[in-house]
């Protein structure tokens, strides 16, 4: 990826609604060239342009990171958890847990239902460990161009 594409990404990370003309001025391209580059980055899956919310402000009062230990193949469990709408982030890991899953729920009862009735019920799940979020101190998506 060249320096111009990285600069375009940085511009969009600062403001995902920044006009292509303003981005072009900042990176030295025409509006049309920026539009083409952005579309190419989107088509290649390099980036997404999305609205990021604070879950608390939109009715989701409970977040947790759940470590999952799996017996056997991790892929089917990861796929099943990733299909759950409450799972915002699913990653396979090397360490104490086979999977780390960020769960966003409406309340404690909802979180309990997801972990106890749905995740633990999956074939291959051996154990879970939950880390309930008390307060979000930092959430940023600026790491993509360092």
**Which pLDDT belongs to residue 146?**
58
- Give the residue carrying structure tokens 């977040």: 63
- Top-level CATH class of 55-132? alpha beta
Instruction: List the chain residues with pLDDT less than 70.
Output: 142-146
Q: How many CB atoms lie within 10 A of CB 90?
A: 20
**Which pLDDT belongs to residue 138?**
83
**Which pLDDT belongs to residue 137?**
85
Given the candidates 3.90.79.10, 1.10.260.40, 1.10.10.10, 1.10.238.10, the CATH classification of the domain at 3-44 is: 1.10.10.10
Residue spans in the chain of domains classed CATH 3.30.70.920:
55-132
d(CA 70, CA 84): 17
Phi, psi of 138 (to 5 degrees): -155, 135
d(CA 108, CA 89): 19
Residue spans in the chain of domains classed CATH 1.10.10.10:
3-44
**Which pLDDT belongs to residue 56?**
77
**Which pLDDT belongs to residue 143?**
65
Strand partners, 63: 104
């Amino acid at each position: 990826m060249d320096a111009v594409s990285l600069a375009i990404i940085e511009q969009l990370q600062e403001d995902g609604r920044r006009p292509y003309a303003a981005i072009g001025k900042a990176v030295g391209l025409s509006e049309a060239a920026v539009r083409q580059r952005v579309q190419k980055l989107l088509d290649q899956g390099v980036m997404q342009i999305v609205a990021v919310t604070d879950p608390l402000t939109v009715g989701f009062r409970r977040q947790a990171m759940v470590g999952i230990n799996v017996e056997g193949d991790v892929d089917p469990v990861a796929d099943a958890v990733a299909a759950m709408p409450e799972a915002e982030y699913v990653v396979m890991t090397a360490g104490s847990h086979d999977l780390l899953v960020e769960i966003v729920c409406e309340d404690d009862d909802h979180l309990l239902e997801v972990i106890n009735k749905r995740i633990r019920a999956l074939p291959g799940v051996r154990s879970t460990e939950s880390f309930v979020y008390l307060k979000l101190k930092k959430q940023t998506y600026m790491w993509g161009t360092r």
